[in-house]
Amino acid sequence: MPANDYVYDFSQGSKDMKDLLGGKGANLAEMTRLGLPVPPGFTITTEACRTYLANGKEPPDLRVQVTKALRHLEDEVERRLGDRHDPLLVSVRSGAKFSMPGMMETVLNIGLNDASVIGLAEASGSDRFAWDSYRRLIQMFGKTVLDIDGDRFAESLDKAKSAKGVTSDVELDVTDLMALVQRFKDIVREESGRDFPQHPREQLDLAIRAVFDSWNTDRARIYRRRERIPHDLGTAVNICTMVFGNLGETSGTGVAFTRDPSTGAPGAYVDYLVNAQGEDVVAGIRNTLSLDDLAGIDPAAHTELMQVMRRLETHYRDLCDIEFTIERGKLWMLQTRVGKRTAAAAFRIATQLVDEHLITEDEALERVTGSQLAQLMFPQFDTGTPRTLLTKAMAASPGAAVGKVVFDSATAVAWADRGEDVILVRRETNPDDLEGMIAAVGILTSRGGKTSHAAVVARGMGKTCVCGAEELDVDVAAKLVRVDDQTILEGDVISIDGSTGEVFLGEMPVKPSPVVTYLEHGVENAVADADEETQLLVKAVDRLLAHADAVRRLRVRANADTAEDAARARHLGAEGIGLTRTEHMFLGDRRVLIERVILSESGDERDDALAALLPLQTHDFTELLEAMDGLPVTIRLLDPPLHEFLPNYTELSVRVAVAHEQGNPDAMELALLAAVERLHESNPMLGLRGVRLGLVVPGLFALQVRAIAEAAVARIKAGGDPQVEIMVPLVGSVMELHLIADETDGIVHEISDREGIKLHIPVGTMIELPRAALTARRIADVAEFFSFGTNDLTQTTWGFSRDDVEAAFFAAYLDKGVFTVSPFESLDVDGVGRLVQIAAEEGRATRPDLKLGVCGEHGGDPDSVHFFHKVGLDYVSCSPFRVPVARLEAGRAALDTGVSDTR
């Protein structure tokens, strides 16, 4: 077809032309090509829509091409649009490349007017049907094309039913409908300032334009943002010969699925209405009938429908969603598409189709997603019970949690130790809250977003979290929280849903996920005493995850800071640890020691503190290496923003001022305040942290290196196989890494010689600064591996303060289309991803065997995993709970490029 052809007859397209014809148009063309009973029609392309939206008017050739297509259609059906005798009527429907149900416009019965309604009545033999069709047209046209408030029409319809003393549209007779048509025409004139158009072609042209315009409605744009559909695709417009399900008891309309879209169970699923048009099924104005009911009402149509459904599922090799109409016993197919389904149905259907030899295992793996697997892993509330909603905020970490409200970490730990389930409620969390966060079953904050401390840590632990609940007035001192006129005290029970962001008063029943039981304890434990549907689901997940493991190239590690986290990650399929954050090991009783190391101006005092920390750190690392014996463990040297390990400057200043005012100055407090003031930073995230801290504070990194090496020796002596790696954080210059690597080599050789045990502990770096990425060729002279810290790399590339920007303006950026998704949730491929690619290529140009991984939150994001596979990384590392998701997506990524494991 020439490039300027904007109109395609249904007989000219195919299912592979969705870019041009949209999903609906391409599938109508495919069904026509298959010889199925599709009403004749044509499609106006997405290219025409894009031209219209860009220029504010239709392409010059469009009107002529529509005329030619319309005349061809009229000749085919031997009727004329809007004719006075047996008129041709058409529907005008949107149809984008990606399904956007209910987001754009549809107008039925185009061609009816004051004259053709008489011809329709004569041709159909039913005055009531004709006038009902006319009132539907005016109602839809007024709302959709003329932008009249739909309530005006609905109120008039309700008044007509009330005056008649009936409750259903079908109970209105022809006289009622004729009066209603007149009332609807009056509404059009009152609201639009013009009469309802009587010329059929004017109706058609205006309806086409309305469908084009509906691409950019607020609801359509919001839907596309949520579903990450590009805004520049445009919609096709489908003009289709009307067939009528509202022609009496031998007519009807329905929606069918070739399998149950909720559970994935085999067998067709049908909702059918007698004497109705398509929108009646969707609107739910009457209870629908089942497939068995249809078999009793119209056996011949039922048989044909079943044959068509089987043929379509075989042809598309997938669950099909079908819209159909029966007009006086004649079946017509109005739409088909690959049907949307739940996460559970996706896994079950994929494996069923493999067993039925319709698809391969590779194709089955491509039919499911990591996001769907994640949905199956989180517990859910039983929504069938009564509930009291307190507020709804940001769904930061999925899951369902019920517990007693506590307001501080110490109480959370104490209550959890005595067997209580608690939910930690804070304005926001900080590293000092970690023990309480671990003890709690869920975390609720009134501030922060999806990348706040609470959210990041909660996701890392697989802990339910709701953030940014601004309606909550959290009073930690009084140990209460207010929301509207409700006051919740410490000890009161609440329920939080990390999948929806909802917070409920009282206890909501929770249903555990059998998929998590399977992942942690195996298939047999998960299916024991389970119902048949659960057994089939677990086995389907196991099967596809095993296939992903077989084909993937990317290895999957976990971010784990404790032996317990490491053991859980290993159960979930982790092939090592990609990031151990050692700063978490210095909280609690150890904090005073690390404060002395950082603040001390006396070498002896610092050495004493380091000596006290050494056996503690050695024990930490020994346990970690034991849990991951035989697998790589990457330990990041200390990398806190400095203020996290210093006394709070404001609180300390207040204490000193109060003591001074009372005439009781404390010399130690004064000295401590002077030290804190000396180290106080305006922007701690870009201050004295990471490698800078290791170079400035004598002995700090040496302590950790020594503890790591001694832990490795201890494991070797115990018969273990430690595969530990040391990662230096926040490197921006190769000289920084040189200095730390030289110090590390000296310590490792010293311990190796002393113990008579050969140690090889690779030293690498996190790439989390743009300068590091751009000078990767030089840094690779020293680094034996790169691990991309994409959280901080995103922060430093964009110039964002992660703790501030999401709440401040991300909502506006998403609304204005600056983002389609937060760059902290899914990797910014064009910016941050480009830096990753540069560093990977240039690092390996220097050192071809350079090992490359990622340890930011993006390591568990499905879309980001595909990018990391594409640019040649060796592994991704993510929170233990996300390991199965990353495994699945790594397998899917290998199939995307045709590259799979060759082991």
User: Would you please indicate which residues are annotated as catalytic (active-site) residues?
Assistant: 453, 855
Amino acid, single-letter form, for residue 441: V
Cα–chain center distance at 549: 23
* Side-chain half-sphere exposure of 808, counting CA atoms within 13 A: 6
Q: How far apart are CA 238 and CA 45, in angstroms?
A: 9
Pairing verdict, β 555-559 and 577-581: parallel
Query: Strand 252-259's sheet: what is its strand order?
Result: 266-274, 252-259, 320-327, 330-338
- What phi and psi, each to the nearest 5 degrees, are found at residue 256? -135, 150
Q: How far apart are CA 287 and CA 293, in angstroms?
A: 12
**Beta carbons of 601 and 698 less than 8 angstroms apart:** no
How far from 471 is each of 305, 391, 479, 763, 842, CA to CA, in Å? 52, 7, 17, 48, 49
> What is the rounded (10 degree) CA torsion for 645, 650, 655, 659?
130
What's the token pair of residue 681? 């930073």
Strands (E), 433-587: 442-445, 464-467, 473-475, 480-483, 486-489, 493-497, 502-505, 510-511, 555-559, 577-581
Helix/strand/coil (H/E/C) assignment for every residue in 661-695: HCCCCCHHHHHHHHHHHHHCCCCHHHCCCCHHHHH
Strand partners, 715: none
DSSP secondary structure string for all residues of 111-167: T--TTHHHHHHHHHT-HHHHHHHHHHHHHHHHHHTS---HHHHHHHHHHHHHHHT-S
Pairing verdict, β 632-636 and 577-581: parallel
DSSP alpha helix (H) spans, 228-298: 278-283, 291-297
Residues comprising the chain, all counted: 903
Residues near 638 by Cβ (< 8 Å), separated by ≥ 6? 582, 583, 586, 693, 694, 700, 701, 704, 729
**Beta carbons of 428 and 447 less than 8 angstroms apart:** yes
**Beta carbons of 631 and 577 less than 8 angstroms apart:** yes
- What phi and psi, each to the nearest 5 degrees, are found at residue 90? -130, 155
Strand partners, 766: 787
Q: How far apart are CA 401 and CA 443, in angstroms?
A: 9
How far from 10 is each of 18, 148, 618, CA to CA, in Å? 13, 32, 72
Q: Give the position of tokens 């096709």.
A: 236
Residue 199: CB atoms within 10 A of its CB come to 10
Q: Give the position of tokens 């499905």.
A: 862
**Beta carbons of 825 and 450 less than 8 angstroms apart:** yes
- What phi and psi, each to the nearest 5 degrees, are found at residue 332? -130, 135
Amino acid, single-letter form, for residue 595: E
**Beta carbons of 263 and 344 less than 8 angstroms apart:** yes
Residue 274: CB atoms within 10 A of its CB come to 22
**Angle, in degrees to the nearest 10, between helices 603-627 and 700-717:** 40
